[in-house]
Amino acid sequence: MADLASPPADAAPDGITWLASFPKSGNTWTRILLSNLIAPDGVDDEHFASLSGSISSNRAGFDTITGLPSSDLTDDEIDLLRPACYRENAKLAQQRLFVKVHDGYHDNGNGDAIFPGDCSFGAIYLVRHPFDVAVSYANHQGHDNFDKIVKQMNNLDHIMAGGSKNQLRQRTLGWSGHYLSWHRQDAIPMLTVRYEDMLADTAACLKRMATFLRLPEKDDDAAIAHAVAESQFEKLRAKEDRSGFRERPEKTERFFRAGRAGDGWEMLNNEQREALCNANRDVMEELGYTP
Amino acid sequence: MMDTPFTVSADLDLGTRVGSYLRSDNADVTISEGEVPQTLEDVTDRGVSFEVNATDFLLHLPAGASFHVSGGKHISYARNGASDRDVALFLLGSAWGALCYQRGLLPLHASAVMHEGKVHAFTGQSGAGKSTLAAGLSVAGLDFFTDDVLIIDPADIRGSTARCFAGQKDMKLWEDALQLTGVESSGRVRDQPDFNKHFALPATTEEKGSGDLVSLTILKNENVRRDRDPIEIEKVRGAQALKHLRESIYRMRFGSAIMGRQKLFTALGQLIAAVHVQTFDRSMLKPQFENSSAAMRDWIKGYGKTDG
């Protein structure tokens, strides 16, 4: 995929880099790759990633920055404060921040974008074939009810967490809605990377990301090769078996499940695949995703 | 001996949460509706929704009430359309925290139960399950002591004793936590529709508002993801305890801005030296709740007999 735009030459290096994706589209893998490239010393048997920055829905982080108890605020009230919260995060950061985002790109109900351009360096947008997302997302939720997952992915109002959950509400806008929302905004320069391209040539994709992010390592092929080797699926899976993975949902047996493309064709039935195609055809075609 | 760290008179109904603090007159702190400035002069720290200077604290809620806390003696509030219930909720939360700091007190983000006259507190990040565990333990027979806020007077930490005060006598529980623990709702926390969080007062509520804090338990949920024993209670000391507990300081940014980091961490260090600090790692899946609560109940009941 081509760059939607590049960060301007004078882009603030202390601005946030958003790692944006619908869930289960290679976001964690990307974070691990970048960690092994930029800050390999912080990666060990217990820690898979070492980048500064968390996830946009980090409730504890919101509480700390705002001084307000998010659990006493409505999800809409929280959204009102989120742009200012990220600006404050960027202002207080002592290192470059890489923040995972599963929210679609939308405003906060008061006309301001949840993710403000003025505190952003850029965004890497990760996208994966919706059939495979469906299988992986079901596993992440601890079930294999693919009908339920397909409905969530096709639902423009699909939300994650919020309310009593330990993450803030994230309005994904559904699979297509997520992609379109980020690609229709022009406040944050963005590089789009397909999960399937990462599988086919991880080093090339990581180099494109490093170039987009203006990392000093962008021309260091040995460092890129090392980061790719350290982030191989088999290695991550073995590490999870050995030491566990903090981000694994309790209901799920393992986070690093398959790490491949194509499961969706085998595990979803015709009706489920058709439902995904019908609701997401335009974006699937744009991305070269065949039914 | 006083059962609260200060007394309060207020011109609005604060409910039963801080009943023991309330006086009709001659209180240490007055709370009244009035003008709240948009901004402070000589600001020493400023956050997303607050400002602090040498004597004052200002808080503006998104599309809601504003609070001006001054000199540890007065809180003014402006409703800006917010109901009594919503004003009281945030007044007794963030504004209350700032008031404590202005008065030299250390509020911890903790819930607690009392057993045989001793207070056992649970702390952890938002969503860690502090209130739910305290509710579960109260159903299991221990006396509920406080929810959300536990107040320490650093001047009253002596040797191995840390006197503590209940911050709130009503619990705030989400609907699923009510169902999980069997505690009954006594009304909604907010007037906002679809906000399914409730006040609740467990049957076994300890009437005392103060006591000796003997243990601080930091709630975690990590082992289950590491294929280790999901229920683990581990004592922590010194720097490790400080690292864990710094996240338990109530509205840490307010505390740093108002009290200063050095004073804040000195108080925390004194507290760690005085009480038993431990981590409690357990599953957060609902079917496991009874088991993990029972493990903590047994630990508390055994405290002082075989440990601590």
Residues, chain A: 291
Quick one: closest CA in B to A168, which residue? B127
Give domain status of residue A1, yes or no: no
How far, rounded to the nearest angstrom, does the alpha carbon of residue A135 sit from its chain's CA centroid? 17
**What value does the mean pLDDT take over residues B172-199?**
89
| B174–chain A Cβ distance below 8 A for any pair | yes
Give domain status of residue A2, yes or no: no
CB contact under 8 A, A67 and B49: yes
CATH number at residue A79: 3.40.50.300
What pLDDT score was predicted for residue B170? 86
What pLDDT score was predicted for residue A2? 44
Alpha-carbon distance of B205 to B184, in angstroms, equals 13
> Do the beta carbons of residue A70 and residue B126 sit within 8 Å?
yes
> Do the beta carbons of residue B209 and residue B3 sit within 8 Å?
yes
User: Which residue in A63, A65, A245 is closest to B225 by CB distance?
Assistant: A245
Mean residue pLDDT of chain A comes to 91
Alpha-carbon distance of B84 to B67, in angstroms, equals 13
pLDDT in tens, A127-165: 999 999 999 999 889 899 999 999 999 999 999 998 888
> Do the beta carbons of residue A70 and residue A63 sit within 8 Å?
yes
**What value does the mean pLDDT take over residues B85-98?**
94
Single-letter amino acid code for the residue at B227? D
DSSP per-residue string spanning A201-220: -HHHHHHHHHHHTT-GGGG-
* pLDDT > 70 fraction of chain B, expressed in percent and rounded: 97
Contacts of A67 in chain B (CB under 8 A): 47-50, 59, 94, 251, 253-254
Which is more confidently placed, A178 or B63? A178
- Nearest partner of A62 among A44, A83, A91, judged by Cα: A83
Candidates A88, A250, A253, A255, partner chain B, best to mutate (most B CBs within 10 A): A250
Q: Which residues contact A159 (CB under 8 A, 6 or more apart)?
A: A169, A170, A171, A172
Give domain status of residue A265, yes or no: yes
Question: In the predicted model, is pLDDT for residue A65 greater than 60?
Answer: yes
Return the domain boundaries, chain B: 8-102, 106-302
Alpha-carbon distance of A132 to A130, in angstroms, equals 5
Confidence band for B96, pLDDT divided at 50, 70 and 90: very high
How far, rounded to the nearest angstrom, does the alpha carbon of residue B242 sit from its chain's CA centroid? 18
Give domain status of residue A268, yes or no: yes
Which is more confidently placed, A246 or A62? A62
pLDDT in tens, A175-233: 999 999 999 999 999 999 999 999 999 999 999 999 999 999 999 999 999 999 999 88
User: Which residue in B63, B174, B196 is closest to A80 by CB distance?
Assistant: B63
Contacts of B283 in chain A (CB under 8 A): 250
């899946």: which residue's tokens? B285
> Rounded to whole angstroms, what are the CA distances from B268 to A63, A68, A193, B247?
20, 22, 47, 11
Question: In the predicted model, is pLDDT for residue A113 greater than 80?
Answer: yes
Query: What's the half-sphere exposure (Cβ side, CA atoms, 13 Å) at A242?
Result: 11
Residue B96 structure tokens:
């209350």
> Rounded to whole angstroms, what are the CA distances from A203 to A213, A232, A254?
15, 11, 25
Phi first, then psi: what are they for A100, rounded to 5°? -70, 140
CB contact under 8 A, A68 and B190: no
> Do the beta carbons of residue A153 and residue A76 sit within 8 Å?
no
Contacts of A251 in chain B (CB under 8 A): 285
Give domain status of residue A116, yes or no: yes
Question: In the predicted model, is pLDDT for residue B29 greater than 90?
Answer: yes
Confidence band for A59, pLDDT divided at 50, 70 and 90: very high
Question: In the predicted model, is pLDDT for residue A55 greater than 50?
Answer: yes
Question: In the predicted model, is pLDDT for residue B153 greater than 50?
Answer: yes
CATH for the stretch B106-302: 3.40.50
Question: In the predicted model, is pLDDT for residue B43 greater than 90?
Answer: yes
The total domain count for chain A is 1
Q: What is the CA radius of gyration of chain B?
A: 19
DSSP per-residue string spanning B242-258: HHHHGGGBTTHHHHHHH
Containing structural domain, residue A127 = 16-286
Quick one: closest CA in B to A240, which residue? B226
What pLDDT score was predicted for residue A248? 78
Alpha-carbon distance of B246 to B242, in angstroms, equals 6
Determine the Cα angle at A192 with ends A189 and A198, to 5°.
145
Alpha-carbon distance of B115 to A76, in angstroms, equals 40
What pLDDT score was predicted for residue A9? 66
Question: In the predicted model, is pLDDT for residue B82 greater than 80?
Answer: yes
Question: In the predicted model, is pLDDT for residue B212 greater than 70?
Answer: yes
| A54–chain B Cβ distance below 8 A for any pair | no
Determine the Cα angle at B245 with ends B273 and B136, to 5°.
105
DSSP A40: G
Residue A40 structure tokens:
């390999």
Q: What is the CA radius of gyration of chain A?
A: 18
Question: In the predicted model, is pLDDT for residue A246 greater than 80?
Answer: no
What pLDDT score was predicted for residue B270? 92
**What value does the mean pLDDT take over residues B206-231?**
84
pLDDT in tens, B262-285: 999 999 999 999 999 999 999 888
CB contact under 8 A, A81 and B64: no
Cβ atoms < 10 Å from Cβ of A109: 14
Alpha-carbon distance of B206 to B158, in angstroms, equals 24
| B47–chain A Cβ distance below 8 A for any pair | yes
